Structure formats: C-alpha cells, structure tokens
A and B are shown apart, each in its own frame.
Chain A
Amino acid sequence: MIEEQRIVKVGMADLNIIQQAGLIRTTGLGSCVGLTLYDPLAKMAGLAHVMLPTSTIAREGELNIAKYADTAVPALLEQLLSSGADKKRIVAKMAGGSQMFTFAGTGDSLRIGPRNVESCKEKLSELGIPLLAEDTGGNYGRTIELDCETGILFIRSVQKGIKEL
C-alpha cells in the first residue's frame, strides 16, 4: 500500500517548516529564490519563497519578513531552531533566481533574480550556514520540493525536466 505523502506548500513571499516526514514545496519560481534549510538528524526542513533581495526597499506598513532575503533567512533559521533543530547541523540548498525576460538597456529591477541569489548567499555566510548546492540563474521557471527524510531537493522545470540536488 502506498502511503499518502504529506506535502507542505509554501506560497510566494511565504515560509514554512516541516518535520519528520513528507515534502515541502513551492511552485513557479522565476526571479524568486526558493531557499531551503535542513537538519538531517532532526529530519526538519524549512523553505522560504523569497521575492526581493532586501527589506530596506520595503514601503509596506507591516513588514512581511518572508518576502525579503535579508529577513527571511534569519527568520526561517529561527523557526527551525525553536522547533528543536541544531544550528551546527543545518545546511542550505537553493534554486531559482532566474531572469525570465531579457531586455537591452533597462533598469536594475531586471537583475532582481541574480540579486536575490546574492543576497541569500550573503545572509547564509553571515549566519555561518553552509550552502551545499544550488540551481540558480538561467531564464526559466522552477518548482522545487525538499524531501524531509533525505534532504534531497527536487527541481522541476519545463525545459530541463527533473533534477536532484
């Protein structure tokens, strides 16, 4: 008998964690970055769907910390630690940050994908979390899911099929 696998879905500009078993997934990443943190011993995984590189540009009333790389990465780490993960064991993987459209001679906002990636990396190194693998850049969309039991990150795209990290 096949057991129904539990799937935790993470929306755009959102973050969540999963424990014990199942998958944590986010769909349709373009310039957004899907950043995952994983504690292999506690079998605990977290995923943030990051939309923008830095919260310093935020003009919203109440800051959505999941939306910005500089606030989402620490918040996700904090959530894992408070649920019992050990910081020493936590490793990161990430995907996304593509440039869906390319134009000549337009503004900085077009580079948002690469800037999201850079900002996530900066934050990870500040927090001392090793980045094990990444599948970033390009000009295509990705759907990702992390298997909470194995820590394998599955990346699905229209052009390249399924990839495992």
Chain B
Amino acid sequence: MDVLKEVGNIGAGNAATALSRLLNKPIDMAVPKVQMLPFEAVAEKVGGAECIVLAIFLRVEGDAPGNLFFILSPEGAKKLLHRLAGIHVESEEEFSEMEWSALSEIGNILAGSYLSSLADFTSLAMTPTVPALAMDMAGAILSYGLLQFGEMGDSALLIDTTFIEDQQEVEGQFFLIPDPESFDKIFTALGVPMNDD
C-alpha cells in the first residue's frame, strides 16, 4: 500500500507542478490515499452518487492498464477556465464547445504529466487514450471505472489525490483505478516482494 501511495504521490506531484505552471500559482496537494473501497464508497468520495461532477476520463493502456479520472466540481471547472484561459463562463448549466475543449486540453495536460511520471518511475509503458469529458452524476461516471473490478468482487483499489490552490478552492481530484491485474506488475516493477497483501 505504501508503494502505491508513493506511485500516486509521484504522479500527482508532477500533475500539480504542471497545473502550478499553467496557473502561475502554487498548487498544493494532499497526500494520496490508497484504499480498497466498496463500490458505493467510491462515489461518496466526491459527494455521493448523484452529485454532479465534471470528469475527464482516460483509459491507461500498456503494461499496467487502468482507468484515470480527473474530477472537478462544475464550480471548480468554471474557476479553472477563468484563471487559465480568461474564459468567464456565462451559462449556469452548460459549458460551450470552446469551454469544453479548453477543459479537455487542461485534463490532457494534467493526466499526461501524471501518467508520464508514473511510467518513468515504474519503467512500465503507460499510454493514455484520448481523454473523454462528461458532466453528470458521479455514480454514473465512476461506475464505469469499476467494471474491471466488478468481475472480481465488490470493491476497487483507488489512488486518490486532491489538489488545493491556497484560498481559491480550485480543487480537483485524481482517481487512478488500476485494473486488478496491474497490481502485480506495478509491485514487480518497483521491486516489492509479493508475499503479503
């Protein structure tokens, strides 16, 4: 577990640095949490299954496949757009095509830096797919990331890191849900003996 926490730490640290550069502001991040969580509890992490979130999702392919989500509140996404691109979001309900595409690009940069540092650290090939965006109920979005675990049980491994920008509340969360068969590869790559759970 400590090793996985370190993996999350390194990935999120790089992503935080990337975000700091983009915003030209220091971005803090919380220490990652690595947990085996029941499905129900995954969506609770962002406020419940019905809570509306904006999610940038990409599938990680390569040696250690998994699912990566960058989750923002709709408010947080608006603030991020404003700060980053000078876009003032007018609509309460929806994002325009341009706003959507700017968010997609931000997600791409953050997720890319998260993944590339993980790949460097573990020497495993990890390639991201093109990110997909959705603004919807957290349960509906995150359940997609749990399907691989669904075949094995009712809980999933989640590496969860929160970003905090000092007073501005641009908070986002990275959820990395490695596929069940990826643990061994990550552990092996990091030289951790596989004799305990």
A residues contacting B by CB (< 8 A) are 11-13, 27-32, 51-52, 57-61, 64, 67, 98, 100-103, 106, 109, 112, 139-143, 158
Contacts and interface: CB of A to CB of B under 8 A. Distances in A.
Most buried by A among B39, B48, B144: B144
Contacts of A103: 59, 129-130, 132
A162 to B, nearest CB: 13
A101 B136 contact: no
B139 A52 contact: no
Nearest 8 CB-CB pairs, A to B?
Answer: A28-B139, A141-B140, A30-B140, A28-B49, A141-B137, A101-B132, A27-B49, A28-B137
A147 to B, nearest CB: 18
B129 A30 contact: no
Main secondary structure of the interface of B (DSSP, over half): mixed
**Interface bracket on B:** 20 to 34
A132 to B, nearest CB: 24
A125 to B, nearest CB: 24
A57 B151 contact: yes
Nearest to A66: B154
Contacts of A139: 134
Nearest to A32: B143
B7 interface: no
Contacts, number: 94
A51 B129 contact: no
A51 B140 contact: no
Given A12-B139, A57-B151, A60-B153, 8 more contacts: A11-B40, A12-B49, A28-B49, A28-B137, A31-B147, A103-B59, A109-B148, A143-B50
A12 B50 contact: no
Contacts of A28: 43, 49-50, 137-140, 143
Most buried by A among B48, B49, B59: B49
Given A12-B40, A28-B50, A140 B140 contact: yes
Nearest to A112: B147
Contact of B132 (A32, A59, A102, A141): A102
A64 B151 CA distance: 10
B174 to A, nearest CB: 17
A58 B154 CA distance: 11
A13 to B, nearest CB: 6
